[in-house]
Chains A and B, each alone.
Chain A
Amino acid sequence: MAFGSRAASWWARLLSPGPGVAPRGPPAGLAAGLAARRRPYSSGGKEKIDMSTYPVESIRNFSIIAHVDHGKSTLADRLLEITGTIAKTDRNKQVLDKLQVERERGITVKAQSASLFYNHKGVNYLLNLIDTPGHVDFNYEVSRSLSACQGVILVVDANEGIQAQTVANFYLAFEAQLAIIPVINKIDLKNADPERVEKQIEKLFDIPVNECIRISAKQGTNIEKVLEKVIEKIPPPSFNTTDPLKALVFDSTFDHYRGVIANIALFGGEIEKGHKIVSAHTKKRYEVNEVGILTPNEQPTDKLYAGQVGYLIAGMKEVTEAQIGDTLFMHKQPVEPLPGFKSAKPMVFAGMYPVDQTEYNNLKSALERLTLNDSSVTVHRDSSLALGAGWRLGFLGLLHMEVFNQRLEQEYNMSVILTAPTVPYKAILSSAKLIKEYGKAEITIINPAQFPDKLSVSEYLEPTVLGTIVTPQEYIGKIIVLCQDRRAVQKDMLYIDEHRVMLKYLFPLNEIVVDFYDALKSLSSGYASFDYEDAGYQAADLIKMDILLNGNPVEELATIIHCDKAYATGKFLCERLKDAIPRQLFEIAIQAAIGKKIIARETLKAYRKNVVAKCYGGDITRRMKLLKRQAEGKKLMRKIGNVEVPRDAFIHVLKRQPDK
């Protein structure tokens, strides 16, 4: 999971209409002009291609993987041009990035696919480029793209060299036993040093220097060579058309006119309109309405055959029906389902409650609509004494949570209370009573309110991740201090060349979810990159800390933390809260407490004067506007006892950790 991309891609994901309403080409019967306007090319109106002329031997399925900004999308554009998939113009910029935000921000958010036709040494090849999000914000999304491939092009920037995400992506491909074609991009840059990067690749990935292809995707240098290597080095898929149908759903989108469009890779058999198919996951039966390939718009074909990649429309009404990782098979010809994918794993949980309980139903429908296009958010109903009925939501990170909240506000005009984020902790219960109550001894705690007391627990566990940091060596000292402060344990340290170091640390997850990446970037002037993967649970000394305002607990800020961090975090939260709460007519005591013990305190003094000095003529209109805005704001305040707290105060408080 790459942090580098996280911010941007989350924004992109969340601010865009989302995959569900992403333009997927016009529905049949609508003017092709619509598609033409959306994109500088159109695939409408062509003859249907006979896919049977492409047997498995002439098929290559591959992905391009790269660290953020190393040029993945630009290379894809060149490949599409050279194979005649799209016309060669100056305007081909990130053709596969269909979402407006992807183009605006120069990032890839949503994996896309394109079938390329290429003649090499007299043979017509079908090359399926299965794009991955350039900002691999989620491992699962890359791994699912890779599962439809037999090889990858690993793009590395000739100037920046190997970065944390390069390493993570390489291992994903390596573990999937895919053929890897290393490509050094941006050799046209002034500071390009392809030799150094080749040596890094040799040292880290054990790929001989002479196997790297030096290219400039921007200028189109050596692109043909890449295609040749794809054909030579990547094996064709080894599936049989004569086998029963076995189709992997590796992506899906939602079209308002046609319902769910599932991207599929055929691991066996063939599929055509009218076939009755069954989902291995839901056991539901569907009739195929349309199949086709992506070029990169949907282009209907009569059939799809084993080894090929394309799309399918089969009357699925909801995105959830096309579960990513699902296997489709022919009715009455069940097959062993493919292993599927790990679903997006929420890293951060927080409670969400309507400011006013009468808004519960409105908020519920807003949540349903928002999560439809952001399936990585998990939703569980929850309720609390202080906050009423609400939900416990799982997010991929704090920014995700923040943006989600902002979207609710901006798009659905919903005001919500969000609680402090927490990672999924576990507890091994020792109390027989509690074990009976939960029906098991090991429980997962996603809500601090449910944190079981130490007396009834034999051990608390916290989630950990194995983090990879790649940095110029001059920042090592500072980075090591940062990691130690985050309770991380060093696992490895390797010079990938004379100047760059790769560090591996085992981190408690809660130490990195909030702001680790920001801290790392700021102390390395932006040069260090970071990526991490799940590393299971470890025992930890956890306690629950409450924050009190004039003695009343702020349920939103109750947190589970490591006991070593209690004092520093308590002090920090109190200080931040002091800045985030506006002065009021009375003094406010802000305290951090563990059980009954107060461990930190700040005092926010009462207003002694708050009245505008002059109020004549011209000012009054402006003044009334301000007062009315304040009156409106007052209605949205969260009241804790007598204390009024702006709703964004909590997020503001949680944004930075003590070491900043």
Chain B
Amino acid sequence: LALCPQWPYCRKHCSYCSFNKYVVPAVDEVAVRACLVREARTLLRLGRVQSVTSVFFGGGTPSLASPHTVAAVLEAAAEAAHLPAGAEVTLEANPSSASPARLAGFKAAGVNRLSVGVQSLDAAELRLLGREHTVDEARAAVEAARGLFPGCTSIDLLFGLPGQSREAWARSLEAALGLCDDHLALYQLTLERGTALEARVRRGALPAPPQDLLADMYHAARAVLAAAGFRQYEVSNFARKGALSTHNLSYWRAEQYVGVGPGAHGRFVPWGEGSRQREARVQTPDPDAWMREVQSRGHGTRRRVALSPLEQLEELLALGLRTDEGITQQRWERFSPQLPLRTVFGGPGEAMALQQQGWLLLDSRGLRCTPQGLAVLDSLLPALLCQLQRT
């Protein structure tokens, strides 16, 4: 089981971000820490978790938390369940809160992998995104991270920014390749409703990036990274020398995870309540309300929905096909012992047609996208869901 603690605070709103995050003048870190610890303990016990295979501190900006808080949550996880010594523990870090000293503190607290939110290596783009760091700070942060977490540093980059050209993206990518370690995440910017950037594009103050340009950028990046020895192991994630993120993989493999902290999401079976059904859980988004709930009930679960076997398979399909390994026979059978992959997708129907068109593969290993198919997965999924629902 994977553990996902959320630190909901940021120092500044970024123009593109629609996550559950809060910019407040002062954070009562002692109280938040106590609540994170308590909720982690409660939920890990509820899930009868034997062993935590990975931890990912997300946010917000978790690098704004003190290493002490990170350590406290890890200790709680180790107490409530087992946390093996080699378990992957990732922290998301913003370049503006990733000084070598802080990073060393996180390392001492138990973090062994860093995901640095570089987003861009162009000063104008960083301003457009509303990031508070500069290009130099980003470079310095990545270098410091690589020094402390060699082979375990990832950087995030965004493409498809309003006004960004193919050439600008190619230059950014080139610069990132010169800077990066063995893991890169390249995200096409999604203009989320409710963000400042989306509003500017909708008003026409900024140009909406054309579909074909976005496709060009994506395909160009895939080619450049492949040439540099990176394996695209997920739609947006690239790694070399086997530096795949265990935590994210477990998510795409539809394994169980426990979300802790304001607005955190989880998927696990609450055995502790006598249930045997996997649930989708969401914690209360507002930090103050969340804290009050944790203080009074031990957890701040706002919503829990039991997932039917079909819904679990649908999630497995939508997530699993994002990876290059796809959905293995074994994994599918764990969710669906009665209906093997071949029974559902082997016969005449959508999957077969998509195979014939070269988007999909179904063989003894399992079901997966071809490299071409991966780029148009969202056009494949509705058809596959239709076929799944029929069987």
Residues of A within 8 A of B (CB): 583-586, 605, 607-618, 620-621, 623-624, 627-628, 630-631, 633-635
Contacts and interface: CB of A to CB of B under 8 A. Distances in A.
B190 A614 contact: yes
B388 to A, nearest CB: 9
Given A617-B259, A618-B20, A610 B375 contact: yes
Nearest to A629: B382
B322 interface: yes
B212 interface: yes
A157 to B, nearest CB: 40
A323 to B, nearest CB: 48
Contacts of A624: 311, 314-315, 318
B386 A609 contact: no
B104 interface: no
23 contacts: A605-B212, A608-B215, A609-B188, A609-B211, A609-B214, A609-B376, A611-B374, A614-B190, A615-B235, A615-B322, A616-B58, A617-B58, A618-B19, A620-B319, A621-B265, A621-B280, A627-B378, A627-B381, A630-B385, A631-B381, A633-B382, A634-B382, A634-B383
B263 A608 contact: no
A610 B318 contact: no
Closest 8 CB pairs of A and B: A608-B215, A609-B215, A631-B385, A630-B382, A613-B188, A611-B377, A613-B187, A617-B265
Contacts of A627: 314, 318, 378, 381-382, 385
Contacts of A616: 58, 248, 251
A623 B318 contact: yes
Contact of B378 (A611, A620, A628, A633): A611
A498 B216 CA distance: 62
A611 B382 contact: no
Nearest to B322: A615
Given A609-B375, A634-B382, A634-B386, A617 B280 contact: no
B80 to A, nearest CB: 21
Nearest to A605: B212
Given A611-B235, A613-B188, A621-B280, A631 B378 contact: no
Nearest to B305: A621
B280 A608 contact: no
A149 B311 CA distance: 67
Contacts of B322: 611, 615
Given A618-B265, A621-B280, 18 more contacts: A585-B357, A605-B212, A608-B216, A608-B375, A609-B375, A610-B377, A610-B379, A611-B376, A613-B188, A613-B190, A614-B236, A616-B251, A617-B58, A624-B311, A624-B315, A627-B318, A628-B385, A631-B389
B121 interface: no
B219 A612 contact: no
Nearest to A621: B280
B379 A620 contact: no
B218 interface: yes
Given A624-B311, A631-B386, A631-B389, A614 B187 contact: yes
Interface of B: 4, 19-20, 58, 187-190, 211-212, 214-216, 218-219, 235-236, 248, 251-252, 259, 263-265, 280, 282, 305, 311, 314-315, 318-319, 322, 357, 359, 374-379, 381-383, 385-386, 389
A584 B263 CA distance: 36
A610 B383 CA distance: 14
B314 to A, nearest CB: 6
A605 B389 CA distance: 30
A584 B379 contact: yes
A266 B114 CA distance: 92
Contacts of B264: 617
Contacts of B252: 615
Contact of A610 (B19, B376, B389): B376
Nearest to A606: B376
A613 B236 contact: yes
Contacts of A628: 314, 385
Contacts of B4: 617
A623 to B, nearest CB: 7
Contact of B375 (A611, A618, A634): A611
B379 A585 contact: yes
A605 to B, nearest CB: 7
Nearest to B218: A609
A408 B57 CA distance: 51
B190 A612 contact: yes
A620 B215 contact: no
Contacts of B377: 610-611
Contacts of A621: 265, 280, 282, 305
Contact of A618 (B215, B236, B263, B374): B263
A425 B54 CA distance: 73
Contacts of B20: 618
B284 to A, nearest CB: 13
A646 to B, nearest CB: 13
Contacts of B211: 583, 608-609
A585 B315 contact: no
A633 B381 CA distance: 13
Nearest to A584: B379
B219 A609 contact: yes
A610 B378 contact: yes
A608 B319 contact: no
Given A609-B215, A627-B318, A627-B385, A585 B259 contact: no
Nearest to B159: A613
Contacts of A612: 190, 235, 378
* Of A584, A607, A609, A624, most B-chain CB atoms within 10 Å: A609
A605 B210 CA distance: 13
Contact of B376 (A585, A605, A618, A634): A585
B190 A620 contact: no
Contacts of A586: 357
